[in-house]
Chains A and B, each alone.
Chain A
C-alpha cells in the first residue's frame, strides 16, 4: 500500500520533488474499464534514484508517464517541483516537459535521420539558445556519456549501448530536474546495460539528478537508492537498494 512508501521515507517538504496524491488511472478498452492505478500516493525527494518494479500491467510505466506529464490522472494530483502538473493545459504541459523532464526510453527513440549530436540538440531547439550554444551543450552532454568520438554518427551506425547513451545525453542536455527512464537497459546486453546503469548512478551521485527508473531487472533496481514494487496499480513494498550512500 502507498502508506508503506511514505512511512519508510518521510521527507521534509523542501526536499520533496515529486508528490503524487490519491492518483487513479482508468483506461477504457472498448466497453471494458481497466483500473491501472488506484488511490496511489508517492513522495520522491530530490536527489533520489528510485527504481519501480512490478509485473507487466502493474502500472509502473503508467505511473512514470503521469509523473513525466505524458499522461493525466483520472483522479488525484501530481505535483513536481512545486508545480501542479495535472492541471496544466496541453501547451503548458509540453513546455513544462521541455524544461523539467529528461526522458530515456527502452528503445532509445532517436531520430534516424539525425546524427548523435543533432539528436542530443533536439530538446534545445525548444529553448532560446543560439545555434553555437546548442552545439556546445550537445557536445558536452555527449562527452559526459563518453561519446565525444561519435558526434557525427547516425543511430544506425551505433551499437545499442551507444544509442542508449545518446538517449541519456539527450535527456540531460537541458539539465532537467527529473530523469525518467523506462526500462533503459531492457534492450541491451548485460555489459552495455551495466555501463548505462553506471552512467545513471554517476548522474545521480555526482550531479544530484533525481531519477525514476522502471525496470524488470533486479540487478538494475539494486543500483537505485530505493526500490518500490507495484502490483495491480498499488504500491506493495519499498526497500533500500545498494545505490544508497
Chain B
C-alpha cells in the first residue's frame, strides 16, 4: 500500500515537473477552463444576486398579508376596513399606541432607464407612517421623508441609479400631476430600493383607488408570534386573507427568476464545459503523446498502470484547478457587486440587484472545473496505461 502511494507520488511528480515543457497547450487548456468557470460563475451570480436582494427584503419578524388566493401584491386587494382589522390583530409589535404596520398599495409608472433610455415599469408604493420601521435597514441617505398628504415622493437608491428623473430634486410625472422627489432611501439592498414611495392616501386619490389597499406589512413582537397572528386572521370570519412571513413571500417571488437564470446559466456552462472537456482531452492526449516513451520507460522499470493513470489525471486536474481558480477569480473581480436590473416576474416591474459572487458559487465553479479536468484527463490516462510497453518504447 505504502509503495503504491510512493509510486503514485513519484510518477505524479514527474508528470507535474514536466508541465513547463508543454506550456503552450497546458496554458490554452487552463485558460479555456478559466473562461468556462468565469462565465458560469458570472451568470449564476445574477441568480444569487436576485435571491440575495429578495432575502434581504425580508425582516426576521416581518409578515405580509394579502387577499386569500393572491400570490403577489399586484393581484391582491384589501378593503380599507379589512386592512385596518389586520393591523389590530394580536402579535404585532407596538411602540406606545402605534402598531408597527403599514397598509400599502402598489401601482406602476413608466420611467426611462438611464442605460438605454427605454421606458421601464417602476413600482410606486403607497405606504403609511410606520413603513420605514417595518423595513429593516431603512435609512434616508439624502433629503427628507415625504410629508403625509402631500404629493411628495422618496425613491430607493436602486431606482435613483437606474432611472432618469428619479434623483433628489427631480419631479416625477404621475398622471397629470408632478410629484417632487424629496428624499432618497436605502433598505440594506432589499427590493424596496427599486421602488418609489409616496403617502398611501395620496396614491389612492391619484389612482382612484378609494380606500383600498393591496397588502399589509407588519413587524411582529417576536418571530415566534407568527402562528398566533396567522391563526387570529385566518379564523376571523370577517376576513379572507393569506398570511405569510416576508421570508416565505420573497422566497416565492424570486424562485421563478432564480430557477430560470440558474437553469440558463447551468445550460450555458454545460455547453461551454463540453467544449472545454474536448480542449482538455486534446491537451492531455498531446501531453501523453509527448511523454509516451517516458511513461513506457517508467512502466518498463516496474511502475504499474495505476500510478500512471493517477499521474496523468493529476496533471489534468491540476490544470483544471488552476483554470478554475483563475476563472472564479476573474468572475469575482469582474462581477461581484456589479449592479444590474431585471424584470421582477412577480410584479412585472424593474428590480435592481447586485451580482453576488459568493463563496459557495466560487467553490461550485472550481468543482465544475475539476469535473472538466477529470473527464478531459481520464481517457488519455487510460491510453497511457494501456499502450503496449514494447511498442511505446520505440516512440520518439
Q: Which residues of A contact B (CB under 8 A)?
A: 61-62, 65, 68, 70-71, 90-91, 94-95, 97-99, 103, 105, 107, 109, 111-114, 122-123, 125-126, 128, 170
Contact = CB atoms under 8 A, between A and B. Distances in A.
Interface string B361-396: 000000000000000000000000000111001001
Nearest to B16: A113
A71 B3 contact: no
Q: Which 8 A-B pairs have the closest CB atoms?
A: A98-B302, A113-B17, A65-B390, A109-B297, A71-B390, A70-B390, A97-B302, A70-B389
A95 B302 CA distance: 6
20 contacts: A65-B389, A68-B300, A70-B300, A70-B389, A70-B393, A71-B390, A90-B304, A94-B303, A94-B304, A97-B301, A107-B396, A109-B294, A109-B297, A109-B300, A109-B393, A111-B297, A112-B18, A112-B21, A123-B302, A126-B3
B299 interface: yes
Contacts of A94: 299, 302-304
B56 interface: no
A109 B297 CA distance: 7
A177 to B, nearest CB: 14
A114 B294 CA distance: 12
A126 B7 contact: yes
A112 B293 CA distance: 12
Contacts of B302: 94-95, 97-99, 123, 126
A61 B389 CA distance: 13
Nearest to A95: B302
A62 B301 contact: no
B10 interface: yes
A18 B285 CA distance: 38
A196 to B, nearest CB: 18
B6 interface: yes
Given A70-B390, A70-B393, A125-B6, A103 B294 contact: no
B300 A91 contact: no
Given A70-B390, A126-B3, A111 B300 contact: no
Given A113-B14, A113-B18, A103 B390 contact: no
Given A71-B389, A109-B393, A126-B303, 11 more contacts: A61-B390, A65-B390, A68-B300, A94-B304, A111-B14, A113-B17, A113-B18, A123-B302, A126-B3, A126-B7, A170-B301
Interface string B294-324: 1001111111110000000000000000000
A99 B300 CA distance: 12
Interface string B235-260: 00000000000000000000000000
Contacts of A107: 293, 396
A123 B10 CA distance: 11
Contacts of B6: 125
A128 B2 CA distance: 9
A90 to B, nearest CB: 7
A112 B389 CA distance: 19
Given A112-B18, A113-B17, A125-B7, A98 B390 contact: no
Contacts of A70: 300, 389-390, 393
Contacts of B388: 71
Contacts of B300: 68, 70, 97, 103, 109
A91 B389 CA distance: 13
Interface string B169-199: 0000000000000000000000000000000
B298, B300, B388: most-surrounded residue (chain A CB, <10 A) = B300
A61, A94, A114, A123: most-surrounded residue (chain B CB, <10 A) = A94
Contacts of B21: 112
B393 A105 contact: yes
A114 B393 contact: no
Interface in B1-16: 3, 6-7, 10, 14
Nearest to A96: B302
